[in-house]
Structure 1
Amino acid sequence: MTSPGPLAQRLSAAVRSATTVETSGVEPIPADDREGGPGSSFTLWFSSNVQFSSLTSGMLATAAFGLGWAQALLAIVLGSAVGAAAIGITSTFGPPKGVGLLVQTRLPLGRRGAAIPAVLVFFKACAWFAVNSILGAFAVQTLIGTGFGPAFALVTVAQVAIALVGYGFIHLVQKAMALVLPLLFIGVSLYGYTESDLGSGFDAAKAGPLGFVGAFALVVAIQAARALSFSSYAADYTRYMPVDTPPRTLFLYAFTGTWLGSVWIASLGAAIGTIAFIGTPTDLVGQVLPGALATVTMLALGVSTITSSCLDCYSGALAWLIAGVRMARWQAVLVVGGLGSAIGWFAGQGDYWKSFENFLIVLGNWIAPWLAVMLVQRFLVRGAPAEDTPRDFGPGFASWLLGLLAAVPFMSQPGVFVGPIAESHPALGACAAAVAFLTAGLLHYVLTRNSRTRAATRSTDTSKEIHA
């Protein structure tokens, strides 16, 4: 009997390693356990953006906000670039310390302060798990002709199972999906682009008081927020990479994968939105796609939502542990899966569409100032006094909170809350996340700079006393 060759042996070893249940929690990954290269960030983020929520977010641009397809494409390109840049940058936070970004949040925000965004990330992950579970269930329900309950159970169990195995298996699944999903989506892409009205113009009636500028800015904000929401996860999927992983290369792989997947599927959604308003995957079958193509598309949508939502389950579990809950990682995965499933089950019985836009915008409002604090801490704060044990609340917590408060007048979630500036000037309602980002970043830079100045002054005074 012929023994397997070196390539087969390496592949077999890689598969065994990837399918071994991960035992690590949120503690730093030892140098001896580090492996993998930056290329896996491309496949992970590309696959994660080739999904129905990307399609629906793009569809909002034309079907709900009245942009023409070319106008929507430009907004999608810009918004996706902002979100992809956030994922690219935060991906580089993983290899140096071997921990996720939320763990590193403890230095600028403090131990207790960092627990608050960790809790928010946990609930955000549960909410995304619910959204994707509903969409996946609709697709599976249409595909196999079963009721919502069995389809929902199949989708949620698959998502939780992938997250339970952990980091290596998630990367393995996403690598496979980076090959499979383009093949499955190519048919609906060709049909959607050729049958839609790509020459459509701006529809002022759909945009309403937003006008063209407001509608365009809102599409940019929604696209940025959708990808931006993943930025709190990004370092979770690079923390096992070697410490000497080149940051620029890692950034380029993560950015490119995110941007390509987002622009492709969102622009396809915008194209379909010129001919029909699609609320669920089932509507694609009834209003847009012919028989055989519809079947393939339902398969693609079902698979893509499962492979995307497993990230929410995995990273939501890590966030729960960082928030201070004492349990094993696998137990935290079950908590996210259970709570997300409960939310999805009740939401899936009605019409989820009306809350989808607000959900995406709210994500950007609180993540943007947190991200600004982390970027300033990483790239602009130099010479800060080292703290082995961060205080309960650091200057970054005040910066994050004040940045969020500064954005309140600009917030616009119709039916929930509309700030005074957004109410009087609807076109500015898409600026909330940008205001929060800039305010928090500037405040954190000023506060930490003043802190370093005081520390340097104390050090100089102490030195003078010693030598006096």
Structure 2
Amino acid sequence: MPGLVEQRSIDVVPDAERHGTAFSQFTLWLGANLQITAVVTGALAVVFGGNAFWSVIGLLLGNLIGGAVMSLHSAQGPRLGLPQMISSRAQFGVKGAVVPLLLVVVMYVGFFASGSVLAGQAVAKLTHLDDTTGIIIFAVITAVMAAIGYRVIHILGRAASVICAIAFIYLGIRLLDRIDLSATLHDHAFSFPLFLLAVSLSASWQLAFGPYVADYSRYLPRDTSARATFWWTLGGTTLGSQWSMTFGVLVAATSGGAFLDSQVGYVVALGGTGLIASALYFVIALGKLTINVLNTYGGFMSMVTGVSGFRAQKTLTARGRSAYIALIMVAGTAVALAGKDSFLSSFKDFLLFLLTFFTPWSAINLVDYYLISRERYDIPALFDPRGRYGAWRWDALLVYGIGLLAQFPFLATSFYTGPLVDPLGGADISWLVGLLIPAALYWLLARRNTDHIPAATILTPAPAPDSAPERTPAA
């Protein structure tokens, strides 16, 4: 049996090392979404003015749309056996892929920080220490688990999917005993801008998984059904996030502001005191550990992908792996400590602003994979800037830039509001623009020149010139 500590990094996973079933994606993403930050995300829809009824519906719509995009990325993992952002080199070039990668790393550091703030509060309560110490302890545990790698990530996902589900069922029962559900959902007044805010909050939550989701499906056997991978991923991520976010909506709508003062403390107090409270603090820490390990691992993968494009590097030593993970940990912890006192207001803008940068990348990657290349990539060429994909692919970079700029007139955040937001009643539709315009533009440009697309997926490098057979394509 292979060891627990992962040996692979950005290199392709050989067929002999593939294992597992598509169902593993369900448990991983269910566990990753049954956690306190998803609860806060749902609560924000009410905190910023929405009523509970339309907030729940808006969050569901955003989770389904964003989850479908994210799950299409997940289905690439078994086919290619590569981390998600390596496949971006087919669109942006071996070096050009660093452009979206820079923003991806910022995202992981941000999510690491936001998760550490809430989990640090739980760890502090469990250990009877202050929040700062709790954040640091949690960050170190996260880094160790990320360094162990893929297998422990899925073990965490399976454990969290069961333990956190039981905890959320219990908390849901306790909440419904305290509130009048029909009265909470009685207000059906519809506000289009607030409805779109709820959609955007959950869509951004899901789309932010896109740059690393295939990292956790790439060890599945190559013949794993893409359809099964898609549906199990979508089922897990939508169920987990909607469950957590609906709970957050109901809490925010009925807490009278107490939830805003201490998100973790309020949720735990809802469950009880004594041993029950300790168990809930543990559950909160476990849920955040699962997602923060994903963020740390994804950040490490993205940093290596960016650097290796300029160094022609295909593998990474254990020491190098630990160094990258430590860098993510230190940066994320520093941000967490600096922003722990203004978490709730800054997190909403962080989520929506991230969406601006990742929707064009998702659109380009998915259009290329499913409509232009039709799942046919030359995998060795993804590591060679002199190969068929080149160092920079300016058509994709141009479309990406246009996709970014096209969103700004429709973007609404506390630090910037576009000129077309007011005519739309304050609604932020930038994420829709960021998906549709780059998808259409890239499809129009890329279909004009498909000479770089192989007849079938190429798994191994071409042999030396004096060797007899040519490389063998694999369907």
Q: TM-score range by the shorter chain?
A: 0.7 to 0.9
Mapping 1:360-399, distance limit 5 Å: 360-382=351-373, 388-394=387-393, 395-399=395-399
Partner residue, 2:30: 46
* 3-state DSSP of counterpart to 2:427: helix
Give how far 1:302 is off: 1.6
Give how far 1:404 is off: 1.1
Q: Structure 2: how far apart are the matches of 1:123 and 1:87?
A: 19
Residues 1:240 and 2:239 are matched in the alignment: no
Partner residue, 1:451: 449
TM-score normalised by structure 2 residue count? 0.85
Gaps of 5+ in 2: 382-386, 454-475
Give how far 1:203 is off: 9.2
Give how far 1:454 is off: 12
Q: Structure 2: how far apart are the matches of 1:285 and 1:107?
A: 45
* 3-state DSSP of counterpart to 1:352: helix
Verify the 8 A CA contact 1:110 1:397 in the aligned structure 2: no
Q: Structure 2: how far apart are the matches of 1:165 and 1:59?
A: 34
- Give the 3 Å change call, closer, same or farther, for CA 432–202 of structure 1 in structure 2: farther
Q: Structure 2: how far apart are the matches of 1:234 and 1:84?
A: 11
Alignment-mate amino acid for residue 99 of structure 2? I
Give how far 1:282 is off: 4.1
Partner residue, 1:60: 44
TM-score normalised by structure 1 residue count? 0.86
Mapping 1:66-85, distance limit 5 Å: 66-67=50-51, 69-85=52-68
Question: Which shows bigger deviation, 436-445 or 301-310?
Answer: 301-310
- Give the 3 Å change call, closer, same or farther, for CA 58–197 of structure 1 in structure 2: farther
Partner residue, 1:128: 111
Residues 1:347 and 2:339 are matched in the alignment: yes
* Greater share of helix: 1
Partner residue, 1:322: 305
Partner residue, 1:419: 418
Instruction: Specify which of 121, 130, 137 is matched with residue 154 of structure 1.
Output: 137
Residues 1:101 and 2:84 are matched in the alignment: yes
| Residues 77-108 of structure 1: CA deviation (Å, up to 9, x unaligned) | 11111122122111111111110121010111
Mapping 1:203-214, distance limit 5 Å: 212-214=191-193
* 3-state DSSP of counterpart to 1:400: helix
Q: Structure 2: how far apart are the matches of 1:248 and 1:130?
A: 34
Instruction: Specify which of 143, 146, 164 is matched with residue 181 of structure 1.
Output: 164
Partner residue, 1:261: 240
Give how far 1:424 is off: 4.2
Verify the 8 A CA contact 1:142 1:282 in the aligned structure 2: no
Percent pairwise identity: 25
| Residues 182-233 of structure 1: CA deviation (Å, up to 9, x unaligned) | 12222211112332343334498xxxxxx71100111011111011101111
Partner residue, 1:464: none
The alignment of Structure 1 onto Structure 2 pairs a total of residues equal to 429
Gaps of 5+ in 1: 1-12, 205-210, 456-468
Residues 1:218 and 2:197 are matched in the alignment: yes
Question: Which shows bigger deviation, 260-269 or 139-148?
Answer: 139-148
Q: Structure 2: how far apart are the matches of 1:196 and 1:398?
A: 52
Q: Structure 1: how far apart are the matches of 2:251 and 2:231?
A: 30
Alignment-mate amino acid for residue 220 of structure 2? M
Instruction: Specify which of 295, 308, 327 is matched with residue 335 of structure 1.
Output: 327
Q: Structure 2: how far apart are the matches of 1:109 and 1:255?
A: 27
Give how far 1:407 is off: 0.6
Alignment-mate amino acid for residue 352 of structure 1? F
Give how far 1:425 is off: 3.2
Give how far 1:285 is off: 5.8
- Give the 3 Å change call, closer, same or farther, for CA 302–173 of structure 1 in structure 2: same
- Give the 3 Å change call, closer, same or farther, for CA 286–378 of structure 1 in structure 2: closer
Q: Structure 2: how far apart are the matches of 1:399 and 1:420?
A: 22
Q: Structure 2: how far apart are the matches of 1:159 and 1:238?
A: 20
Alignment-mate amino acid for residue 363 of structure 1? L
Q: Structure 2: how far apart are the matches of 1:122 and 1:197?
A: 43
Partner residue, 2:400: 400
Superposition CA RMSD, Å: 2.3
Question: Which shows bigger deviation, 111-120 or 435-444?
Answer: 111-120
Q: Structure 2: how far apart are the matches of 1:286 and 1:35?
A: 38
- Give the 3 Å change call, closer, same or farther, for CA 361–155 of structure 1 in structure 2: same
Give how far 1:294 is off: 3.9
Question: Which shows bigger deviation, 21-30 or 126-135?
Answer: 21-30
Instruction: Specify which of 185, 190, 193 is matched with residue 173 of structure 2.
Output: 190
Residues 1:23 and 2:7 are matched in the alignment: yes
* 3-state DSSP of counterpart to 1:105: helix
- Give the 3 Å change call, closer, same or farther, for CA 453–285 of structure 1 in structure 2: closer
* 3-state DSSP of counterpart to 2:326: helix
Q: Structure 2: how far apart are the matches of 1:294 and 1:110?
A: 51
Alignment-mate amino acid for residue 389 of structure 1? R
Mapping 1:266-277, distance limit 5 Å: 266-276=245-255, 277=257
Give how far 1:439 is off: 0.5
Residues 1:37 and 2:16 are matched in the alignment: no
Question: Which shows bigger deviation, 369-378 or 270-279?
Answer: 270-279
Q: Structure 2: how far apart are the matches of 1:316 and 1:453?
A: 33
| Residues 243-295 of structure 1: CA deviation (Å, up to 9, x unaligned) | 11110011111110001101111100101111123233344069755424544
Verify the 8 A CA contact 2:192 2:425 in the aligned structure 1: no
Give how far 1:341 is off: 1.0
Q: Structure 1: how far apart are the matches of 2:217 and 2:202?
A: 24
Give how far 1:25 is off: 1.5
Partner residue, 1:357: 348
Question: Which shows bigger deviation, 25-34 or 283-292?
Answer: 283-292
- Give the 3 Å change call, closer, same or farther, for CA 114–344 of structure 1 in structure 2: same
Q: Structure 2: how far apart are the matches of 1:282 and 1:237?
A: 28
